[in-house]
Amino acid sequence: MSTAVVKEAPSASSSESIFLQMLRAETKKLTRRKGVVAFTAILTVGVVVITFAILEIYHLSDPVKYTPIGGTAGFTKLVLMLSELTIIPASILGSTAGSQDMESGVVRDMIVTGRSRIALFMLRIESPIVVWIVPELIAYLIGLAIIFGLSGGNPLPTAHLVLEGGLYCLGVSLVFVLTASGFSSLFGTRGPAIAVMIGWTFVIESILLNVTALGPVRDAFLTTAISALSPFADQSRRLKAAGVTPSLAVDYITIIAWPLVMNIAGWIRFRRLEA
**Which sequence spans correspond to the domains of the chain?**
13-272
Q: In this prediction, what percent of the chain has a pLDDT beyond 70?
A: 88
Whether pLDDT at 103 is above 60: yes
Q: CA 54 → CA 41, 58, 79, 82, 132, distances in Å?
A: 18, 6, 17, 17, 26
Length of the chain (residues): 275
Residue 274 banded pLDDT, cuts 50, 70, 90: low
Query: 135-179 pLDDT, tens per residue?
Result: 999 999 999 999 999 988 889 999 999 999 999 999 999 999 999
Q: DSSP H helical segments within 200-232, as ranges?
A: 205-208, 222-228
Predicted TM-score (pTM) of this structure: 0.86
More confident residue, 83 or 271: 83
User: What CA dihedral angle connects 164, 79, 94 and 187, to 10 degrees?
Assistant: 110
Mean pLDDT in residue range 199-224:
90
Quote the radius of gyration of the chain (alpha carbons, Å): 22
Instruction: Say what the pLDDT of residue 114 is.
Output: 63
